[in-house]
Structure 1
Amino acid sequence: NNILTAIFGFASLVQMKIPEGDPLRVNIDQVIAAAERAAGLTQSLLTFSRKQVLNLRAVSLNEIINKVDKFLARIIGEDIKLQIVSKAEEIVVHADSGQIEQVLLNLATNARDAMPQGGIFSVVTEAVEIDQEYIDFYGYGVPGAYARMAVSDSGMGIDDQTIKRIFDPFFTTKEVGKGTGLGLSIVYGIVKQHNGFINVYSEPGRGTTFSIYLPLSKAEQQAGPDRNRMQYPAGGSETILMAEDDTVVRDLSRTVLTEFGYTVIEAVNGEEAVQKFREFQDKIQLLLLDIVMPKKNGKEVYDEIKKTRSDVKVLFLSGYPAEVIGNTGLLEDGSNLIMKPVHPQDLLRRIREELDRGGSPDSRGKP
């Protein structure tokens, strides 16, 4: 993850300096695209193991589908008809929209391969109530209100023996080189991370339906639209204490932050971070701390600094999954955690949001 962070970061800095029409621009664009594919595989493996950090918020399920419908059409091709049906005007779920998009893209790819001669690919959404009768019948689930997203194809279908293994990692019925065997495993992992569940109904020659159930959000209103990830957020003039033991990541972060107006004080380990804070505490507005580093980990650094300044803001960086961090007791939740590899845009956005947010991290949500 540190390696990918460096590739993303330095390539993005070069990209910023090259005008759109410059012939060299296409080369750096390809570098970034390749790095994104590599990061995608890494995140896919984390998602399957259910250790990927999710950006959960109240979102419209129908809007997520409408947002990717053109992309779905490109994936399945011209010989397959796309049908999208919503049985409810508004279905709000507590979800990571990017991960739900990934579910749809993976299922669309699977459906396309099941219909080499063409057919119909449909996505149907509705609000449903899961009761004890359903749970007794299927053997899983929790009673409550859910959004049901039924994703179907009219393809060749799946036999019973294959269905039993369909969500197993690296299991595939495709030819060598035609698939990784992770697509449906990733779908399963994402759904489980959302406290949902999924079942499959299929008969050979009669198509397949994946029914995905996601808990309905209790929020009455959905959150605003996502920011464009490729737009660089506003910078600032604040001073940031950055503690990172990886030289490449530290150099990249300093370059990005200073480029956007921030003053950066660097530390290569936890003890030095505490020492630098004591020296410059009146100037520092934000801590940017790697979770795992020598001498003191990021949480220990933050806890010690809080004794001096309880109002200091903090963001943690880690290449380790949130679940691993949580199990070690290093971080109670992932609210202030940025997962590596991190794009410069995302780093700048999270820093700006944290600096503009009122209250200290520990005081949020307290009366």
Structure 2
Amino acid sequence: MNNTPDLFPHRILVVDDNPSIHEDFRKILCPAQSGQRASMDAMAFELFDDAPAAKPAISFEMDSAFQGEEALAKILSAEQAGRPYSLAFMDVRMPPGWDGVETISHIWKEYPHIQIVICTAYSDYSWDQILTKLGETDSLVILKKPFDQVEVLQLAHTLTKKWLLSRQANRRLASLDEMVQQRTQELSEANRHLEHEIQRRSLTEAALRESEERFHLAFESVPIALSIRRLDTKRYLDVNYCFAQLCGHPKDALLGKTPDELNLFAAPEAHRRLLQSLSEGRRVEQASLDIRRKDGQLRHTVISIELLRLGEHTCVLAALQDVTGQKELEAQLRQAQKMEAVGQLAAGVAHDFNNLLTVIHGYASLQLVKHNLETEVARAFTQVKLASERAAALTRQLLAFSRKQVVQRKPINLLATLGKMQAMLSRVLGEGIRLEVQGPEGLPLIHADESNLEQVIMNLSVNARDAMPHGGKLSLRARQASITPAQVAGHPDKHPGEYVSLEVSDTGCGMDAATLGRIFEPFFTTKPIGRGTGLGLSTVYGIVKQHEGWIDVESQPGLGSTFRVFLPVAQGLPDSEPNSLPAPARVQPADTQGAILVVEDQADVRDYMCEVLSQNHFQVIAADSGADALSKWKNLPGKVSLLLTDLVMPDGVSGLMLAHRLLGLEPGLKVVYTSGYNPDAVASGNSLSEGVNFLPKPFNQDQLLETVRAALSAQSPPPRPFGADPHTLAAEPACASN
């Protein structure tokens, strides 16, 4: 601090961009210079309640600055000259330079002792903002314009007095500090030899304490569960916070106890084998060991063990890492991979089986239209046809599970769908089961295939019905669900966002954990033989997955089951689906009686289609592959009205590629696609585009002819696959699963 003597008069700096303000301050603070001495003496009399001569004359010397930068320069110059300012009156708005708050900030960085009064008619800063920028201080006062002369004079007297007292106090403190430093130096010199001796003797103890502190700090703060126990008594000497958290016990409850007393290891013998390996000189690192928490919950860990010597005792240092979350993720991944593999297998079987069913059902239908069949032969063909239709229904369920069925999505209100199905569900459930349907008005729409959604509701309802053979209650609840990232953490098949949930709850027999783990597997069932296909819940699983949703299941034996289906809220519904099968151009051909190019790699299916079309007076050209079709097309320009092609062919030219090439050559060509798969699964799209003619396998002759004629007439109604109605497909009870 500057030790210059206290000077009179007090120096005051007025900082304002308005010259008239400076004159006003000069009249108040320096009345002798402005001819206002008599009035100022009278004001002082009012202020101090005493005769002017009774008070020591405190006079002021006033300087002016019109910008913040100028004020800072004057304050620094005055301090260096030993004539510091004790008070500054500061305007807030001083364009174009610093404003008042910025100026104060700069001044206090260089000269923090000056008292400051902020003067302004209005301020760009609230008091809280000023304190935020300048910090809490008792050296700052606000004076609102227009200000009262008495108030200005009172502030000048008070704050300069405060500055003077603070300056004197700081000098006294500096003097005392100097005395203390001198005495301290003397004491330090006197004690130096004693301290040296004490330091020498305590070096070993300090090093030991430091080592112990470092070890304790590392022991407690490391994010791995650590424990130390004696090898002979097996009692814990110390454990860290992570170990206590892992075990679910307070630290004090662990110390002095053995693992057996705490029932800590799920398999104590496994831990004993690890210690035996360690005693035989083998390293124990990253070994698996399950810990049983105080609440009975099992945690999977990997453990590493070392022997160490503490005093006279051999101890065991164990480091455990909780890998329960990793194990659960691995289990989820294995389950997802298993379901994906089963789905691929199911899809492949269904595709090949659909080709066979097309031939079986098709030729049986062809024989049945003949008029000269014997009764027994006709009955046999009828049974073949009916059996193939039942088999077709099963393959559709397999395709639903594998997410390769045909879906035609549209905006759907789930609550409205439940309302439409309520009467039918009541009939299916029977009189012994009470049905309850709930949901809020204004439920967001979902983008779904309505028949698929109805099948999910029906299968889950029938599943619940069979779980309540003696009656009960079935609740169907629709609601909106906002899923946060925290709720789906650790579940890679789930995603945050806005969803509509369907909750299906029953009061039935429930399921155990083993059954819960397999309920969505195709053909898994605990029903008696002949009472279920094992495809009910697997069909639900596939449909929900194909709609980018998921299913949560809660169940306990004897306490019923709850299935929660989550389907994403429709966002920005497109007018038509992108990336789907190309619809042929709507160009009316000049001759609709041209040939039909049939492209199918399965000979029996190809022969059946050609026979049906030929018998119905269509000219047919057959090709066994995409490449074969392109080769034959060279001799067919203008002669083909319709391309009837399978989507999946093995020669590298798929039905999709073939259609693109031929449509490029002849835009008026009509196209019908066939496949045992969902066409969008083959085309990597989202759903069937409007205007695409698609004939799913298996199909009968009526469906084939209807689709071909509709395509030639520039119409494309989606053909209904033969087989059972989706609402009548078998579903399984919750307690039996699938």
Offset of 1:17 from its aligned partner?
9.0
1:123 aligns with 2:480: no
The question of whether the paired residues in 2 share the 8 Å contact of 1:60 and 1:92 is answered with yes
Flag the 1:10–1:301 CA change in 2: closer, same or farther, 3 A.
Answer: same
Q: Which moved more, 1:178-187 or 1:34-43?
A: 178-187
SS in 1 for 2:563: strand
The question of whether the paired residues in 2 share the 8 Å contact of 1:93 and 1:214 is answered with yes
1:278 aligns with 2:628: no
SS in 2 for 1:117: coil
| Match runs of 1:201-216 below 5 Å | 201-216=554-569
Matched residue type, 1:58: P
SS in 2 for 1:249: helix
Report the TM-score when normalising by structure 2: 0.39
Offset of 1:187 from its aligned partner?
1.5
SS in 2 for 1:204: coil
- Distance in 2 between residues matched to 1:72 and 1:341, nearest whole Å: 29
Which residue of structure 2 lines up, in the alignment, with residue 46 of structure 1?
399
**Identity percentage of aligned residues:** 39
The question of whether the paired residues in 2 share the 8 Å contact of 1:61 and 1:92 is answered with yes
Offset of 1:38 from its aligned partner?
0.5
- Distance in 1 between residues matched to 2:711 and 2:416, nearest whole Å: 25
Flag the 1:271–1:138 CA change in 2: closer, same or farther, 3 A.
Answer: closer
Which residue of structure 1 lines up, in the alignment, with residue 609 of structure 2?
253
The question of whether the paired residues in 1 share the 8 Å contact of 2:401 and 2:539 is answered with yes
SS in 1 for 2:488: helix
Offset of 1:212 from its aligned partner?
0.5
| Match runs of 1:227-238 below 5 Å | none
One of 78, 84, 87 as aligned partner of 2:431: 78
The question of whether the paired residues in 2 share the 8 Å contact of 1:125 and 1:147 is answered with yes
SS in 2 for 1:188: helix
- Distance in 2 between residues matched to 1:160 and 1:220, nearest whole Å: 40
Which residue of structure 2 lines up, in the alignment, with residue 356 of structure 1?
714
- Distance in 2 between residues matched to 1:100 and 1:150, nearest whole Å: 13
Offset of 1:142 from its aligned partner?
1.8
Q: Which has the higher contact order (CA 8 A, sep 6+)?
A: 1
- Distance in 1 between residues matched to 2:419 and 2:614, nearest whole Å: 39
- Distance in 1 between residues matched to 2:380 and 2:674, nearest whole Å: 29
The question of whether the paired residues in 2 share the 8 Å contact of 1:269 and 1:296 is answered with no
The question of whether the paired residues in 2 share the 8 Å contact of 1:83 and 1:121 is answered with yes
Offset of 1:114 from its aligned partner?
0.8
SS in 2 for 1:150: strand
Matched residue type, 1:267: A
Instruction: Give unmatched runs, 5+ long, in structure 2.
Output: 1-353, 372-376, 577-591, 717-738
One of 150, 158, 163 as aligned partner of 2:516: 163
Q: 1:285-311: per-residue Cα shift (whole Å, max 9, x none)? A: 331112345767444544553553355
- Distance in 1 between residues matched to 2:701 and 2:418, nearest whole Å: 28
| Match runs of 1:183-198 below 5 Å | 183-198=536-551
Offset of 1:146 from its aligned partner?
1.8
Q: Which moved more, 1:163-172 or 1:98-107?
A: 163-172
Structure with higher Rg: it is 2
Flag the 1:90–1:256 CA change in 2: closer, same or farther, 3 A.
Answer: farther
One of 515, 525, 539 as aligned partner of 1:172: 525
Offset of 1:4 from its aligned partner?
1.2
Offset of 1:116 from its aligned partner?
0.8
- Distance in 2 between residues matched to 1:74 and 1:62, nearest whole Å: 19
Offset of 1:242 from its aligned partner?
1.5
Which residue of structure 2 lines up, in the alignment, with residue 319 of structure 1?
676
Q: Which moved more, 1:179-188 or 1:150-159?
A: 179-188
The number of residue pairs the alignment matches comes to: 338
Q: Which moved more, 1:202-211 or 1:29-38?
A: 29-38
Q: 1:324-353: per-residue Cα shift (whole Å, max 9, x none)? A: x74xxxx45474564422355654565536
Which residue of structure 1 lines up, in the alignment, with residue 570 of structure 2?
217
SS in 2 for 1:279: coil
Offset of 1:274 from its aligned partner?
2.6
1:109 aligns with 2:462: yes
One of 690, 694, 697 as aligned partner of 1:340: 697
Q: 1:116-167: per-residue Cα shift (whole Å, max 9, x none)? A: 1011223222333323343349776322222211112121222344333333
Matched residue type, 1:59: I
Matched residue type, 1:115: M
- Distance in 2 between residues matched to 1:134 and 1:41, nearest whole Å: 36
Report the TM-score when normalising by structure 1: 0.73
Offset of 1:189 from its aligned partner?
1.9
Offset of 1:196 from its aligned partner?
0.4
1:267 aligns with 2:623: yes
- Distance in 2 between residues matched to 1:222 and 1:90, nearest whole Å: 22
SS in 2 for 1:84: strand
Matched residue type, 1:183: G
Flag the 1:79–1:133 CA change in 2: closer, same or farther, 3 A.
Answer: same
SS in 2 for 1:273: helix
Offset of 1:272 from its aligned partner?
4.2
| Match runs of 1:132-143 below 5 Å | 132-136=485-489, 141-143=494-496
- Distance in 2 between residues matched to 1:31 and 1:9, nearest whole Å: 10
Which residue of structure 2 lines up, in the alignment, with residue 288 of structure 1?
644
SS in 1 for 2:504: strand
Offset of 1:80 from its aligned partner?
1.9
Which residue of structure 2 lines up, in the alignment, with residue 5 of structure 1?
358
SS in 2 for 1:201: strand
Q: 1:17-38: per-residue Cα shift (whole Å, max 9, x none)? A: 99xxxxx999877655432221
Offset of 1:241 from its aligned partner?
1.8
- Distance in 2 between residues matched to 1:291 and 1:220, nearest whole Å: 27
Instruction: Give unmatched runs, 5+ long, in structure 1.
Output: 19-23, 224-235, 359-367
Q: Which moved more, 1:109-118 or 1:266-275?
A: 266-275
- Distance in 2 between residues matched to 1:294 and 1:138, nearest whole Å: 37
Q: 1:72-126: per-residue Cα shift (whole Å, max 9, x none)? A: 3444333223333342356532222232232223212321221010112232223
Q: Which moved more, 1:194-203 or 1:274-283?
A: 274-283
1:244 aligns with 2:600: yes
- Distance in 2 between residues matched to 1:66 and 1:289, nearest whole Å: 41
- Distance in 2 between residues matched to 1:139 and 1:220, nearest whole Å: 25
SS in 2 for 1:206: coil
- Distance in 1 between residues matched to 2:457 and 2:622, nearest whole Å: 42
SS in 1 for 2:495: coil
- Distance in 1 between residues matched to 2:487 and 2:652, nearest whole Å: 51
SS in 1 for 2:487: helix
Flag the 1:240–1:104 CA change in 2: closer, same or farther, 3 A.
Answer: same
Offset of 1:46 from its aligned partner?
2.7
- Distance in 2 between residues matched to 1:71 and 1:31, nearest whole Å: 31
